[in-house]
Amino acid sequence: MRSKLGVVRIIGLGALATTAAAMAMAGCSAADEGSLDEPLVDDSALSMHQGPKRNCGTREVDDREQDRVNKAIAAAPQRLVSPGVSTIDVYVHVINGGSGTANGDVPLSQINDQIAVLNAAYAGDTGGAETNFRFALASVDRTTHLGWYHVGYGSPEEAAMKSALRKGGKRDLNLYTANVGGGLLGWATFPQDYTSNPNDDGVVLLFSSLPGGSAAPYDQGDTATHEVGHWLGLYHTFQGGCSARNDGVSDTPAEKSAAYGCPTGRNTCTGNKYVGFDPIRNFMDYTDDACMNQFTAGQSDRMDSLVATYR
């Protein structure tokens, strides 16, 4: 296992420019500093980090949806499982533009390393709380298809790809790797999305974000950790900014905006109401892979509740 130190464009990946409208729809990504398409962040975040930035916007959730989800959780019978016993089968779909890793045909060794990264993160082996979820590789299939290889968020290609390849049921994770369009790092669906569109369910990742890939500083596999967190029901730690609602988890301190790099000591929500520094090491922030190393006990409980309610 690796040690730990604590979807916009990635410089040098030949990414395509995106419009502001596309960015509002997109999944996880990383952008050049100063892009006009990126969301507004506070100056301290920018001044403490130079270089490419993660910017994940997996289907923005508004207050009304949060309220609906919270009511559904409260009304559902509690079906929580004991730690370590809920194993999720992972069906990996490698979409490539031809042979070789440079064309997205990632080797089985990288896929196995990605599963190991997920298990370490969700078992709490990297320094955070243990969750109830573990991951087992169920199968790997490989498809050469240029249209799907450059798949965009919400595109007809995405719908066709998922309709053709998706396997398993609502408790199974379908993970697609490709050279996703617009320079995105990836995106995910939420548990509450499954009933209305089961074929869309799953996670899409930039192939070079897998462990050992070329998407530095997002090359240690935690794009998948972050996106699977969404798939299990988590929001970003800065959801709602400095508000009581925030991300719906009581033990993640409120955070005004996304953190980039690894800005130790950052504190964007101050005063007696907001105790604690920003949760920059949380997997659901925007910091570099090397900085992320934890979920909280509250996030673990939330994932249990969302999966019990919707999956």
What strands, in cross-sheet order, belong to the sheet with 86-96?
Answer: 53-54, 28-31, 184-188, 203-206, 173-178, 86-96, 133-144
H or E element: which one contains 183?
Answer: none
Classified as helix, coil or strand, 94 is strand
Spatial distance between the Cα atoms of 157 and 137, rounded to a whole number of angstroms: 25
1 residue type, one letter? M
C-beta neighbour count of 17 within 10 angstroms: 11
List active site positions.
227
What single-letter DSSP state applies at residue 202?
S
For residue 53, what are the β-bridge partners? 31
Contact of 93 with 177, CB cutoff 8 Å: yes
Tell me 294's DSSP state: B
d(CA 168, CA 90): 9
